[in-house]
Amino acid sequence: MIYNKEYKVKFYKNSRTGVEPVLNYLKDLDLKNRQKINKYIKFLCDNSGYLDEPYSRHITGKIRELRINFSTHRHCIFYFSFIGKIIVLLSAFSKNTEKTPFKEIYLAEK
Protein backbone atom coordinates (compact mmCIF):
# COMPACT_ATOMS: atom_id res chain seq x y z
CA MET A 1 0.00 0.00 0.00
CA ILE A 2 1.62 3.28 -1.09
CA TYR A 3 0.14 6.64 -0.07
CA ASN A 4 2.62 9.14 -1.50
CA LYS A 5 5.80 9.17 -3.54
CA GLU A 6 8.10 9.08 -0.55
CA TYR A 7 6.60 7.12 2.33
CA LYS A 8 5.37 3.55 2.09
CA VAL A 9 3.25 1.70 4.61
CA LYS A 10 4.00 -1.90 5.50
CA PHE A 11 1.95 -4.14 7.73
CA TYR A 12 3.88 -6.16 10.28
CA LYS A 13 3.50 -9.89 9.60
CA ASN A 14 4.29 -12.47 12.28
CA SER A 15 6.87 -14.78 10.68
CA ARG A 16 5.75 -17.77 12.76
CA THR A 17 1.99 -17.53 12.30
CA GLY A 18 1.66 -15.38 9.18
CA VAL A 19 -0.82 -13.13 11.02
CA GLU A 20 -0.95 -9.44 10.08
CA PRO A 21 -2.56 -7.85 13.16
CA VAL A 22 -3.48 -4.47 11.64
CA LEU A 23 -4.97 -6.00 8.48
CA ASN A 24 -6.99 -8.44 10.58
CA TYR A 25 -8.24 -5.57 12.74
CA LEU A 26 -9.26 -3.55 9.69
CA LYS A 27 -11.09 -6.49 8.11
CA ASP A 28 -13.36 -6.71 11.16
CA LEU A 29 -14.47 -3.06 10.89
CA ASP A 30 -17.29 -1.57 8.88
CA LEU A 31 -16.53 0.44 5.75
CA LYS A 32 -16.84 3.89 7.37
CA ASN A 33 -14.37 3.04 10.13
CA ARG A 34 -11.90 1.53 7.63
CA GLN A 35 -12.11 4.64 5.46
CA LYS A 36 -11.49 6.92 8.44
CA ILE A 37 -8.47 4.87 9.51
CA ASN A 38 -7.09 4.89 5.94
CA LYS A 39 -7.46 8.67 5.89
CA TYR A 40 -5.37 8.94 9.07
CA ILE A 41 -2.72 6.58 7.66
CA LYS A 42 -2.52 8.74 4.54
CA PHE A 43 -2.21 11.83 6.75
CA LEU A 44 0.65 10.10 8.60
CA CYS A 45 2.44 9.42 5.29
CA ASP A 46 1.88 12.98 4.09
CA ASN A 47 3.59 14.18 7.27
CA SER A 48 6.72 12.03 6.91
CA GLY A 49 5.65 9.46 9.48
CA TYR A 50 5.32 11.93 12.33
CA LEU A 51 2.23 13.58 13.80
CA ASP A 52 1.82 15.55 17.01
CA GLU A 53 -0.95 15.11 19.54
CA PRO A 54 -3.88 14.62 19.34
CA TYR A 55 -3.25 12.49 16.24
CA SER A 56 -0.26 10.57 17.54
CA ARG A 57 1.83 10.19 20.66
CA HIS A 58 5.05 8.52 21.72
CA ILE A 59 4.64 5.19 23.53
CA THR A 60 8.11 3.71 24.07
CA GLY A 61 11.37 3.59 22.13
CA LYS A 62 10.52 4.20 18.47
CA ILE A 63 6.91 3.04 18.87
CA ARG A 64 4.18 5.64 18.46
CA GLU A 65 0.41 5.41 18.70
CA LEU A 66 -1.79 6.69 15.87
CA ARG A 67 -5.06 7.80 17.48
CA ILE A 68 -8.26 7.75 15.45
CA ASN A 69 -11.46 9.07 17.01
CA PHE A 70 -14.58 8.36 15.03
CA SER A 71 -18.00 8.92 16.50
CA THR A 72 -18.08 6.63 19.55
CA HIS A 73 -15.14 4.50 18.40
CA ARG A 74 -11.54 5.13 19.34
CA HIS A 75 -9.01 3.17 17.34
CA CYS A 76 -5.28 2.99 18.02
CA ILE A 77 -2.54 1.70 15.76
CA PHE A 78 1.01 1.23 16.99
CA TYR A 79 3.63 2.05 14.39
CA PHE A 80 7.20 3.17 13.85
CA SER A 81 9.09 4.84 11.03
CA PHE A 82 11.93 2.88 9.51
CA ILE A 83 14.97 3.74 7.42
CA GLY A 84 14.06 4.10 3.76
CA LYS A 85 10.89 6.07 4.46
CA ILE A 86 8.82 3.09 5.53
CA ILE A 87 6.10 3.21 8.16
CA VAL A 88 5.50 -0.16 9.81
CA LEU A 89 2.03 -0.70 11.31
CA LEU A 90 2.48 -3.13 14.19
CA SER A 91 -0.84 -3.69 15.90
CA ALA A 92 -4.29 -2.14 16.29
CA PHE A 93 -6.98 -2.16 18.92
CA SER A 94 -10.11 -0.39 20.04
CA LYS A 95 -9.36 1.92 22.94
CA ASN A 96 -11.95 2.32 25.68
CA THR A 97 -9.89 4.15 28.30
CA GLU A 98 -7.59 7.17 28.34
CA LYS A 99 -4.59 5.08 29.35
CA THR A 100 -3.06 2.68 26.83
CA PRO A 101 -3.29 -0.92 28.11
CA PHE A 102 0.11 -2.37 29.04
CA LYS A 103 -0.68 -5.68 27.27
CA GLU A 104 -1.11 -3.79 23.97
CA ILE A 105 2.25 -2.04 24.44
CA TYR A 106 3.88 -5.38 25.26
CA LEU A 107 2.47 -6.97 22.08
CA ALA A 108 3.75 -4.11 19.94
CA GLU A 109 7.23 -4.38 21.46
CA LYS A 110 7.38 -8.12 20.79
In a domain, residue 71? The reply is yes
Residue 2 within a domain: no
Strands (E), 8-107: 8-11, 56-60, 63-70, 73-82, 86-94
pLDDT(28) > 90: yes
Q: What is the mean pLDDT of residues 74-81?
A: 92
Looking at the domain assignment, is residue 89 inside a domain? yes
Whether residue 65 lies inside any domain: the answer is yes
**Domain, as residue range, for 68:** 8-109
Residue 3 lies in a domain: no
Taking the model in full, what pTM does it have? 0.84
φ/ψ of residue 7, rounded to 5: -95, 135
| Number of domains the chain contains | 1
Is 76 part of a structural domain of the chain?
A: yes
Query: Taking 70 as the threshold, does the pLDDT of residue 103 lie above it?
Result: no
User: Could you tell me the CATH number of the domain that includes residue 12?
Assistant: 3.30.2310.20
Residue 96 located in a structural domain: yes
pLDDT range class, residue 2, cuts 50, 70, 90? very low
Please check whether residue 1 lies inside any domain of the structure. Answer: no
